[in-house]
């Protein structure tokens, strides 16, 4: 299944036909096309570049970006208070390949429409988005890749406390 | 204060050791074991039961509860004549402790005059503009918060008893739809946190059922008393959704739905929360 940022393509086409200046928000225009396979993976890097796991950890922690700790326990002992509404990410690098994690971050609802987890790289189909955040994904394509790369380093399983 | 007395009376009736009545930690342990007393009705739990022991203690102690300052404002406004009619609340309603007892348990109510739901703040301002011929209080002013808290406090300990029969039904349905609709960049509905995950942690915050029985309440984060609509705006903002205006139809309908969810829980106004 090919998922496209069709609104952007349409805008570009319309603007080109009408000879208008392109006024689409820069962020929205930056959304890249990607291919979902079997509603289960995105095999290829969104940027064509490998992710940077060091920056991925920064993005994962940042409350204005990934904010993963809001819902997930992670092997980041220096950060207090890990959320518990989502599954633990200890050992997540053992359980998945990058193509699985990529789709789960880009748009987890492709896999489970009922999930609480936001789509971190989707701008369509959202409702009543706050001014200044419309047409902006939560993460950039490279930030998604960085988080994927970081999560793949999480191979340690959570120590059993009992 | 009422609450404390009731808890003590209940404990005495059950023959519990006197020590448990006077020591904070024992009370906290009792709460930790899931015996929420009047703060739980069936599977409905007041935000009180998710609050930390210090926050609960602050709410329980009239002399520590900072919201009492707003109650004082409300009490003096009750006697304060305003507007072209030259009347104060007390001129028509007399002693609030008598005339307002139980009133707030029914709000929001359907208003024949406006053809939509009216919450307590709106009812107070309706009285000001229509009967007192005075300016309405501004939303989140100390006067409106104080008057709302003062009136609602006259129902403290009484069960929330909102009706969704008759004309209220369609507004309840709109409120329910709002509650269940995903919104904002984070694409969350109220249900995701307050139904599916009540009791779970979002970072350091314990999600509650989002009950409205303690509002207006003193929030430590705000360092003041605030309305339920302020809380809605905060929640919407957190998920990067558009904040709606105070007193908007959407929020008033949502207030009806949220309050109805808590039917049976005791009015706690003024509660204290983190």
Q: From the CA of B206, how many Å to the nearest CA of chain A?
A: 9
- Tell me what pLDDT residue B28 has: 52
B201/A84 touch (CB, cutoff 8 Å), yes or no: yes
A48 inside domain: yes
| B78 lies in the same domain as B149 | yes
Considering only CB atoms, which chain B residues are within 8 Å of A71? 202
Residue A40 domain boundaries: 35-152
A2 inside domain: no
Q: Is the CB of residue B18 less than 8 Å from the CB of residue B8?
A: no
Residue B126 domain boundaries: 72-153
Asked whether the predicted pLDDT for residue A14 surpasses 50, the reply is: no
- Among residues B35, B60, B85, the one where a domain terminates is B60
CATH, residue A54: 1.10.760.10
Asked whether the predicted pLDDT for residue A120 surpasses 70, the reply is: yes
The structural domain count of chain A equals 1
The structural domain count of chain B equals 3
Per the rule left: phi > 0, alpha: psi between -120 and 50, beta: everything else, B273 is beta
Interface size A-B, in CB pairs within 8 Å, comes to 69
ipTM over 0.85 threshold: no
Residue by residue, what is the 3-state secondary structure of chain B?
A: CHHHHHHHHHHHHCCCCCHHHHCHHHHHHHHHCCCCHHHEECCEECHHHHCCHHHHHHHHCCCCCCCHHHHHHHHHHHHCCECCCCECHHHHHCCHHHHCCCHHHHCCEEECCCCEEECHHHHHHHHHHHHHCCCCCCCCCHHHHHHHHHHHHCCCCCECCCCCCCCHHHHHHHHHHHHHCCECCCCECHHHHHCCCCCCEECCEECCCCCCCCCCEEECCCCEEECHHHHHHHHHHHCCECCCCCCCHHHHHHHHHHHHHCCCCECCCCCEEC
Considering only CB atoms, which chain A residues are within 8 Å of B204? 80-81
Query: Is B128 annotated as contributing to ligand binding?
Result: no
A11 inside domain: no
Q: At A28, is the pLDDT very low, low, confident or very high (cuts 50, 70, 90)? A: low
Asked whether the predicted pLDDT for residue A161 surpasses 90, the reply is: no
Low-confidence ranges of chain B (pLDDT < 50): 1-26
Asked whether the predicted pLDDT for residue A162 surpasses 50, the reply is: yes
pLDDT in tens, B49-95: 999 999 999 999 999 999 999 999 999 999 999 999 999 999 999 99
B184/A129 touch (CB, cutoff 8 Å), yes or no: yes
* Rounded distance between C-alpha atoms, residue B216 and residue B219, angstroms: 9
Considering only CB atoms, which chain A residues are within 8 Å of B181? 127
| B176 lies in the same domain as B266 | yes
Which residue numbers of A have CB closer than 8 Å to B's CBs?
69-71, 80-85, 109, 116, 118-119, 126-131, 133, 136, 138
B182/A131 touch (CB, cutoff 8 Å), yes or no: no
């Amino acid at each position: 299944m090919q998922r496209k940022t069709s609104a952007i393509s349409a805008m570009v086409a319309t603007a080109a036909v009408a000879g208008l200046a392109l006024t689409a928000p820069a962020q929205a225009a930056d959304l890249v096309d990607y291919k979902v396979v079997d509603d289960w993976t995105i095999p290829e890097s969104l940027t064509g570049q490998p992710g940077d796991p060091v920056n991925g950890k920064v993005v994962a922690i940042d409350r204005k970006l990934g904010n993963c700790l809001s819902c997930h326990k992670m092997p980041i002992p220096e950060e207090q208070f890990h959320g518990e509404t989502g599954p633990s990410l200890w050992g997540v690098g053992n359980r998945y390949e990058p193509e699985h994690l990529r789709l789960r971050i880009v748009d987890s609802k492709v896999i489970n429409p009922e999930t609480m987890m936001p789509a971190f790289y989707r701008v369509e189909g959202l409702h009543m988005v706050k001014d200044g955040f419309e047409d902006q994904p939560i993460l950039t394509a490279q930030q998604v890749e960085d988080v994927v790369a970081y999560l793949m380093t999480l191979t340690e399983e959570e120590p059993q406390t009992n | 204060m009422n609450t404390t007395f009731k808890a003590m009376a209940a404990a005495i009736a059950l023959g519990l050791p006197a020590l448990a009545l006077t020591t904070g930690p024992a009370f906290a342990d009792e709460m930790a074991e899931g015996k929420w007393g009047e703060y739980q009705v069936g599977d409905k739990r007041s935000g009180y039961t998710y609050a930390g022991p210090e926050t609960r203690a602050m709410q329980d102690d009239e002399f520590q509860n900072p919201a009492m300052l707003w109650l004082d404002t409300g009490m003096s406004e009750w006697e304060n004549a305003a507007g072209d009619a030259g009347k104060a609340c007390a001129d028509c309603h007399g002693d609030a402790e008598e005339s307002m007892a139980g009133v707030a348990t029914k709000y929001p109510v359907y208003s024949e005059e406006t053809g939509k739901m009216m919450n307590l703040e709106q009812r107070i301002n309706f009285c000001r503009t229509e009967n007192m011929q005075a300016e309405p209080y501004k939303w989140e002013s100390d006067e409106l918060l104080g008057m709302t808290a003062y009136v609602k406090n006259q129902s403290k300990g009484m069960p929330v008893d909102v009706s969704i029969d008759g004309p209220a039904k369609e507004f309840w349905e709109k409120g329910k739809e709002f509650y269940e609709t995903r919104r904002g960049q984070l694409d969350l509905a109220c249900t995701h946190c307050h139904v599916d995950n009540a009791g779970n942690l979002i970072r350091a915050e314990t999600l509650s059922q989002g009950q409205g029985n303690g509002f207006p309440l003193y929030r430590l984060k705000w360092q003041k008393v605030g309305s339920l609509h302020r809380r809605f705006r905060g929640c919407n903002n957190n998920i990067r959704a558009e904040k709606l205006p105070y007193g908007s139809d959407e929020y008033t309908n949502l207030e009806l739905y949220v309050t109805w969810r808590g039917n049976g829980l005791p009015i706690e106004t003024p509660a204290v929360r983190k």
